[in-house]
A and B are shown apart, each in its own frame.
Chain A
Amino acid sequence: MAHYVMVIDTKTCIGCTDCVDACRMENNVPEGLCFDWVVEVTTGRYPELKTEFRSERCNHCSRATCVTACPTGASQYWNDSNIVVVDASRCTGCKACIAACPYDARLIMQPEGYIGKCTFCVHRVQYGLDPACVAVCPAKAMHFGRLDDPTSEVFQLLESRESYSLNPETGNEPNVFYLR
């Protein structure tokens, strides 16, 4: 199985939201919606401070609760990989997946009503390209690739740097990692 992961370096991320912008243009995301977003976390008291930016999105979990929660099979893994997509023709808009997602990463597409989400830009991945957010990052803070390939950049980065993922305690096995 192809194991795709995203690795985001918080050391160089500047929180510019270009990833959000590029995603919205690439995927023609309707007004007011987005598949990825940026979180700023500042800790400490002036002048002893630390600020971290995180570009967040669907974690394309290896054990995705949204996929198991979907009653129609619309939420599914793409092509024997961990990339989670929604087949609109089978989606009834019941929102069970929204309730099941630990990351608040799914939304209702307007005006059609099916459930939308980050696809890791699977239409680009099928040609070996990086997702649009990764390709645009002006700080080159974002990386994408296959964790099942030990020669890949993402494998090397996760091997050599300290990292964390969001809500790993859910057991969903998320696949977006943040380098400290």
Chain B
Amino acid sequence: MQRRDFLRLNAIAGASALLGPSLAGCSQPAEWQRLMTAGPATIKPTVCNMCFWSCAGQVHVRDGEPWKITGHPDDPHSMGRLCTRGTAGLGAYYDPNRLIKPLLRVNRGGSQQFDVVSWDDALGFIAGRLEKVAKEHGPEALATLVHGPGAEHFVHLTKAFGSDSISEPAFAQCRGPRDTGFYFTFGEGIASPEQTDMENAKCVVLIGTHLGENLHNSQVRTFADAIRNDATIITVDPRFSVAAGKAKYWLPIRPGTDIALLLAWTNVILAERLYDADYINLNTVGFNALAAYIAPFTPEWAYVETGITADVIRQTARIMAASAPATVIHPGRHTVWWGDDTQRARAVAILAGLLGIWGQKGGYYMPESVALPEFPLPAYPVPKKSWRDITISKFPLAGQGVTNVMLDNMVGSDAYYKAMIVYDTNLPMTMPNSRATLTKAAQALDLLVVVDVQPSEMTGFADVVLPECSYLERYDPLRSESERDPCIALRAPALPVQGDSKPGWWIAKQLGHRLGLDKYFPWNDYTEVIDWQLKQVGSSLTEMQTLGLKPYPRKTPLYLTPGAPLNLQTPSGKIELYSQALADAGFDALPRFTRHAQRPDGFFHLNYGRAPQHSFSRTQNNPVLYQLMPENLVWIHPDTAMQFAIDNESYVQLVNQDGVVSNKVRVRITERIRPDSVWMVHGFGHTAAGLTLAYGRGADDSALMTRVLYDPIMGGTGMRGNFVTFRKEAA
């Protein structure tokens, strides 16, 4: 056969057209015959950047040709096994659409276009504009929006310049509500990687988390361990996710009613006294207030809201409690859904608190990192105004900069920000309903710089586009995360730099030089920083270039002693079942269930998620991953398909409640979804013409999210309150 489906959905293998040349024996050996006698490959260390999980990897180069990338065998993130995206990392290097020259927007005869310019011209232009902004408005008028390990270079530059307005979509568009909810309960957020001890759990509860499709490497590996160990898996999801397929209990919950389920579970645990009273007395505050509050939220009450029967709610609560503390109540990750997400995370955290799983084997382990000293640098100037000044009045308990607040403050005559640097994040497809504001911001700002590897949608808004080389061509800050097994991993250049692209550290240093900030970059090459840091912890760059990853022994216990007091960083030092801090700020001290907008007739909940083949909107143009998954599909229940007379594999357009129409998207009719919902993988429907593979393929869910539900506590952009119907493509 000529082409093959890499993933067959309910397929039956059948005969295919047999085409191809006829020959009298091939003059070349087959690839496998060549491989049988091939010499050894050289191996160079990297840290994967195909997603943020940052697995340590090894780039294999044979006879000068890049061959493959595999996981570092000692890496607790990957255990030698990179995921689908990491395995395809060479595609990011070879992508013919990569940015390889700096670009400057010019106005020529009334039309705007990008000119290829030299680095000197591009950097000089940026420095000139930034100096003008600093002179007229102060350096605080610079905002920097970033993502990923390379962000540190531009965070550093921004602080050295005199601004602390730094934000990442990872907060307000992703895990901010989770970390805020846990902070107000346990005194700290959840680590990344999440400290879920699934490999030792007897019960794993996933609430809207679709591990498997969400291919965070060590999360998936330890989830598979839980399955192998016959842990009871409880999956709450409107869709029969891969994880639901592994579960003993699948709870196909009505979208937007998680808090009702969580309150009912808590009700059962309290009503049936399924908790350890000594633990509760020692380690929690607000138990009596919780008990009084929770009484009306019975399983029978929750059934009406969630569609989950009272029996199932009771059974699952009992299993969680019986397995505790070896019960993982998974905190989730992307949790910006309905605008009450911090309270939803609070409900998750309260359940975890009652079950006593904090710091316990099979629950949440205690993560530890290698204490890597900062390279000695002069103190940053103190900004006259901080990001807090524009944020706290809107979202009083935001723990860090909120992207949407910053963006809103770039528009209008009284706009606070006059310049923006965007590093490695594709805002138009990351921030819901942001294109109109981004367009206005691009007009209003004196300077918009975008640093990217590929010509993403974001680059289209820029005054200057700076081409960064891929992760396989550069040094970046050392990986030293809080996790089960402390270690350090090195990202080093493994392959020659393509074109005129440059590493992020070089770009930041060059800009610093032009801005008179040389004292913040007192080194010629970033390797000096890495080497200095490594020498503080008994290693060196030379050693790490060979090792790639270095494990360190733990200095603190992985688990807390059962029965000992927790000593948390909350004001009370205990688990705050009732949050006085939230009450003092005018929010509910105990999570409240709110009935969200009902779907209009003929409309369906727009749910979205991940596929193992792609990360965000950044990998659709990767030539290797494109072959595995070239477009997203919209999942539709058979009843819905029948109602609208939609054929499987046909193309439709989605129309949302405000009349916004999507690009065409292929239909997958499947029983694996609730009849009141559709589901699609996020990150497709690219509109950037420079991404020649991804352009126009599939539909963009974020463009359909015109109704954004803001979390009043921390500013998260709830994305689930949107509904779609179908417009059939003309045949």
Contacts and interface: CB of A to CB of B under 8 A. Distances in A.
A103 B13 contact: yes
Given A16-B612, A33-B4, A86-B30, A42 B84 contact: no
Interface stretch (B238-246, B394-402, B500-508, B573-581): B238-246
B21 A46 contact: no
Contact of A14 (B81, B242, B629): B242
A155 interface: no
A123 B38 contact: yes
Contacts, number: 227
A177 to B, nearest CB: 17
Interface residues of B, number: 80
A14 B31 CA distance: 29
B8 A113 contact: no
A46 B672 contact: yes
A123 B33 CA distance: 8
A42 B220 contact: no
B20 A88 contact: no
Nearest to A36: B6
B627 A32 contact: yes
B4 A138 contact: no
A56 B3 CA distance: 16
Contact of B6 (A17, A87, A103): A17
A9 B70 CA distance: 22
A138 B221 contact: yes
Given A11-B228, A24-B624, A138-B215, A38 B6 contact: yes
Contacts of A50: 245
Interface in B15-31: 15-16, 18-31
Contacts of A150: none
A25 B68 contact: yes
Given A26-B68, A42-B672, A137-B81, A122 B26 contact: no
Contacts of B246: 11-12, 14
A1 interface: no
B361 interface: no
Given A37-B5, A42-B10, A103-B13, A88 B83 contact: no
A46 B671 contact: yes
Contact of A18 (B5, B84, B627): B84
Interface in A91-136: 91-95, 98-99, 103-104, 107-110, 112-114, 116, 119, 122-123, 126, 132, 135-136
A119 B31 CA distance: 10
Interface string B241-264: 010111000101000000000000
Report which residue of B4, B10, B221, B625 has the largest number of chain A beta carbons within 10 angstroms of its beta carbon: B4
Contact of B21 (A33, A88, A93, A126): A93
Given A16-B84, A20-B6, A46 B674 contact: yes
Nearest to A22: B87
A39 B675 CA distance: 24
A25 B624 contact: yes
Contacts of A47: 240, 250, 252
A107 to B, nearest CB: 6
Contacts of B11: 39
A59 B328 CA distance: 39
Contacts of B109: none
B220 A104 contact: no
A66 B671 CA distance: 38
A86 B602 CA distance: 56
B20 A93 contact: yes
B215 A113 contact: no
A14 B4 contact: no
Given A93-B20, A112-B26, A113-B21, A140 B224 contact: yes
A21 interface: yes
Contact of B80 (A18, A103, A135): A135
A149 interface: no
B627 A31 contact: yes
A165 to B, nearest CB: 14
Interface string B75-88: 00010111110011
A99 B673 CA distance: 38
A140 B217 CA distance: 11
> Which 10 pairs between the two chains have the least Cβ-Cβ distance?
A108-B20, A16-B612, A14-B212, A123-B35, A139-B224, A88-B30, A51-B245, A113-B21, A88-B26, A25-B68
Interface of B: 1-11, 13-16, 18-33, 35-36, 38, 67-71, 78, 80-84, 87-88, 90, 212-213, 215, 217, 220-221, 223-224, 227-228, 240, 242, 244-246, 250, 252, 612-613, 623-625, 627-629, 637, 670-675
23 contacts: A14-B215, A14-B224, A15-B612, A18-B82, A22-B68, A25-B68, A25-B69, A28-B67, A34-B4, A38-B7, A41-B10, A45-B671, A53-B242, A72-B25, A89-B26, A92-B24, A93-B23, A95-B18, A95-B20, A104-B16, A123-B38, A138-B217, A138-B224
Given A18-B87, A86-B30, A92-B23, 12 more contacts: A16-B612, A21-B625, A42-B670, A89-B25, A95-B18, A95-B20, A107-B4, A108-B21, A110-B20, A113-B26, A132-B68, A136-B82
